[in-house]
Amino acid sequence: MKAAIYARYSSENQSEKSIDDQVRVCRNYCNEHEITVSNGHIFIDEALSGSLVNRPGLQALDKAAENKEFEAVLVDDLSRLSRSNHQMLTLVLKFNYYQVKLISVSDGIISDDENSKLGIQMRGLINELYLDDLRKKTSRGLEGQKLRGFSAGENVYGYCTKPVGELRLNKKGQAKYDGMVHKINPEEAEIVKRIFKEFADNSSIHKIATHLNEDKTPTKKNMRGGWNVSTLSRILKNEKYLGKWNWRKTKNVRDPMTGKKKAIPRPEKERVPIFREDLIIIDKETWEKVKKRQQDLQGTWPVSKKKKAFYPQKSYVHTSPNHLLSGLMRCNTCGGAIVLMSGKGTGYYGCYNAGRKTCNNTLLIPRKRIEEIIIKELKENLLTTENLEYVYKNVEKIAAEGFNEVPELVKKKNAQYEKIQQEIQNYLNFIKLGNVSKAVSEALTEAEKNSDELKQEVGSLEFQKENSFKVPPKEWIKHRLENLRETLNKNTVSSSLALKELLGPISLEPILTKENDFYQLFSGDEKNFKPYCVAHSKIRTLALLDDERKGSNWLQWRRR
C-alpha cells in the first residue's frame, strides 16, 4: 500500500528535530505494516500553527490525495493535522471522500475502523481544549511583558525597538535578551508629524500620499506601491502617537470556514490602559485638529457603497502570481505596482495607485497584446544557435532540481548546516563576552560535530544528484522553446517567477505629448540598452504594436 506522511511543528521556538521525529515514528509504522512511502510524499509545515487552514504542506497533501497518488496518510498524532476540532473533522471527511485512509500512529486510530469515529471526536476535542489553554497562557505572557514596559510585538511607524536586560542563549543556541523596548525613531517621527500637520492644514489624504511618494519617502517595511490612503488613515487614527499604548483593546477571532483573522473591540472592562510619556510624537492640539477634520469630512462625504469604476481586480492580493506578468511591471511615476485592472476580455494592466487616486498615471495596456510581444521577443532570442547551446548545457541542472527527489533533501540539509553554523557563531560570541563554562564548551563541541556530519551528508547527496539524471535530447528542448507560450501557460507561477528573474523589473513611464499619451517601458540592466518593440496610442487604452512603421507616435519598450 502506498502512503504519504504529514508532519508539522507550530513555533519557531520549537526544535526542528520534531519534524524528523514525527517522520521517523511514521516510517517505523510503515516498516512494520508493509506500507511504502516515497520521499516525494512526505509533506511538512514548519513553524506554522495547527489552527491555520492555508498551510502549504497541508494544501499539497490535500491536492495529492485528491489525485489518488496514495492510499493512506500517516501522522504522528491527529493534532498535527489541526488543533481545531472543526478543521480536523473536515480533513477526515475529505480523506474519506478521496478514499484515502487516515492513520494516526501515536493515537492508535485508523479512520476505516468501525470504532474510530469516537476516538477521532475525543482527540479532536482534547486538541482544541489544548489550543484554547495555550492562547490564554500566551496572552498572559504578552500582558506581563507589556506591563513591564517591554514590546509585545507591535511594529508602528515612528518607533523602533532595542534589546534590554541580560544576554543569554536559548535552547537553540540563539542570543536572547530579557525583552525589547520601544523608542522613538527620529527620522520616522518627523514624517508622522508632517502627515498630521498637512492633514490638519486641510490637505487630503490622497494628496499627502502623492507628495510622500514623489519625495521617495520610505515606508515602514518599504511596501510595494509606497504610501497609500489605507496606510495614512491608520496612522491618523493611531493613539500611540499620543502616548496611549493601551493593551487588550481588541481581540482576534478566526473565520471557521476561511481561517482568516478579524480584530473586534473588547469590552471596556477587559482593556488595560498604559501611558508612555516618553513615546509621545503628536501633541494634543494637533491631534484634536485632526480628529475634528476627520469628523467634519465624515459628515460631509458619507462612504459610498458602490465600487469605483477604475478599480483593480482582486488578483493583486494573492501572494503567488496568477498571470505571466504578475509582479513584473512597476509604475515609473509613483513606484507602485502595475496590476491587472477590470475590463473586457482578458483585461488591461494599469497602475494600482491610480485606482486609489494617489497617482496620476491612468494609462492602461491590453494584457493579451503585451504578453504576445514579450513572448515573441523571448522566443526569437532563445532560438538562436548560441542560446540553444547555452540552454542545453544548463538544462541538466535545472531538470534535476525539478524531477529528482535528492535536491530537496540537499536543500534541507544545507539549511540545517547553515543553522548549525549560526549556532556555533552564537556560542563563540557568547564565549567572547566572558561567559565560559563547561556546559557551553560541551554544547560548542557537539554543534561542531553535527556540522561535520552534515557537511559529509551534503557532499554525498550532491554526488547522487549529479549522477542521477540524464539530459533530454536537444530536439526535445528546441520543441519546448518553439511552443514557448504553451509551455509558460502550463505553470503560471513558475513561469512568472522565471520571467521576473530573466527580465528584471520593467518600469512603465508615461510620456505626455500634445497629441497622445505614451508608455515607455524599461527592463533589466542599463548597460545593455536595446530597443525591444514599439507601440502606438491615440487613446488612453494603449494598442501595443510591434511594427514601428504603423505610426509616427509610438511607444518604445526597451530592455536595458
How many folded domains does the chain comprise? 4
Contact in structure between 349 and 305 (CB atoms under 8 Å): no
Do 483 and 499 lie in a common domain?
Answer: no
Do 472 and 552 lie in a common domain?
Answer: no
Do 200 and 345 lie in a common domain?
Answer: no
Whole-model pTM? 0.42
Exposure string for 138-169, b = 16+ CB within 10 A, e = fewer = eeeebeebbeeebbbeeebbbbbbeeeeeeeb
Do 169 and 258 lie in a common domain?
Answer: yes
Of 71 and 168, which is predicted with more confidence?
Answer: 71
Q: Which residues are bridge partners to 519 per DSSP?
A: 510
Do 324 and 396 lie in a common domain?
Answer: no
**Which strand (E) or helix (H) includes residue 367?**
helix 367-382
Structural domain containing residue 417? 381-490
Strands (E), 283-370: 329-331, 338-341, 348-351, 364-366
Residue 37 has pLDDT above 80, yes or no: yes
Do 370 and 329 lie in a common domain?
Answer: yes
pLDDT category of residue 15 using cuts at 50, 70 and 90: low
Do 29 and 92 lie in a common domain?
Answer: yes
SS (H, E, C) 426-453: HHHHHHHCCCCCHHHHHHHHHHHHHHHH
Q: Per-residue pLDDT tens for 516-539? A: 555 665 555 443 433 333 333 333
From CA 383, how far away is CA 480, in angstroms rounded?
11
Answer yes or no: is 147 within a domain. no
Q: Which long-range contacts (CB under 8 A, 24 or more apart) does 86-92 make?
A: 86/256, 87/51, 87/53, 87/256, 87/259, 88/120, 88/124, 88/127, 89/120, 89/121, 89/124, 91/58, 91/62, 92/120
Highest-confidence range of 1-10, 121-130, 175-184, 514-523, by mean pLDDT?
1-10
Contact in structure between 157 and 196 (CB atoms under 8 Å): no
Answer yes or no: is 143 within a domain. no
Backbone phi, then psi, for 236, in 5-degree steps? -70, -15
Check residue 311 and give its pLDDT.
Answer: 38
Answer yes or no: is 424 within a domain. yes
Q: What's the whole-number average pLDDT of the chain?
A: 74
Do 366 and 385 lie in a common domain?
Answer: no
Residue 128 has pLDDT above 90, yes or no: no
Max CA pair span of the chain: 80
Check residue 33 and give its pLDDT.
Answer: 93
Answer yes or no: is 309 within a domain. no
Q: Per-residue pLDDT tens for 261-285? A: 788 888 888 888 888 888 999 999 9
Of 489 and 348, which is predicted with more confidence?
Answer: 348
Residue 25 has pLDDT above 90, yes or no: yes
List Cβ neighbours of 44 (8 Å cut-off, separation of 6 or more).
6, 7, 8, 19, 23, 57
Residue at a domain's end among 134, 167, 199: 134
Q: How large is the average pLDDT for residues 63-91?
A: 89
Domain of residue 184, CATH code: 3.90.1750.20
Answer yes or no: is 119 within a domain. yes
Do 111 and 195 lie in a common domain?
Answer: no
Residue at a domain's end among 300, 333, 364: 300
Name the least confident of 46-55, 295-304, 419-428.
Answer: 295-304
Q: How large is the average pLDDT for residues 497-524?
A: 64
Domain of residue 99, CATH code: 3.40.50.1390
Identify the CA nearest to 532 among candidates 512, 548, 516.
548
Answer yes or no: is 141 within a domain. no
Do 393 and 417 lie in a common domain?
Answer: yes
Residue at a domain's end among 472, 490, 508: 490
Neighbour tally for 408: CB within 10 Å: 14
Contact in structure between 522 and 558 (CB atoms under 8 Å): yes
Within 13 Å and on the Cβ side, how many CA atoms surround 16? 11
Do 100 and 238 lie in a common domain?
Answer: no
pLDDT category of residue 31 using cuts at 50, 70 and 90: very high
Check residue 179 and give its pLDDT.
Answer: 77
- All three cell numbers of 363: 494609462
Q: How large is the average pLDDT for residues 344-356?
A: 75
Answer yes or no: is 521 within a domain. yes
From CA 127, how far away is CA 51, in angstroms rounded?
10
Q: How large is the average pLDDT for residues 193-209?
A: 89
Check residue 155 and give its pLDDT.
Answer: 81
Do 252 and 353 lie in a common domain?
Answer: no
- All three cell numbers of 171: 535552547
DSSP 6: E
Contact in structure between 352 and 338 (CB atoms under 8 Å): yes
- All three cell numbers of 241: 502617537
From CA 232, how far away is CA 448, in angstroms rounded?
50
Q: Per-residue pLDDT tens for 174-186? A: 667 777 888 999 9
Answer yes or no: is 398 within a domain. yes
Contact in structure between 367 and 339 (CB atoms under 8 Å): no
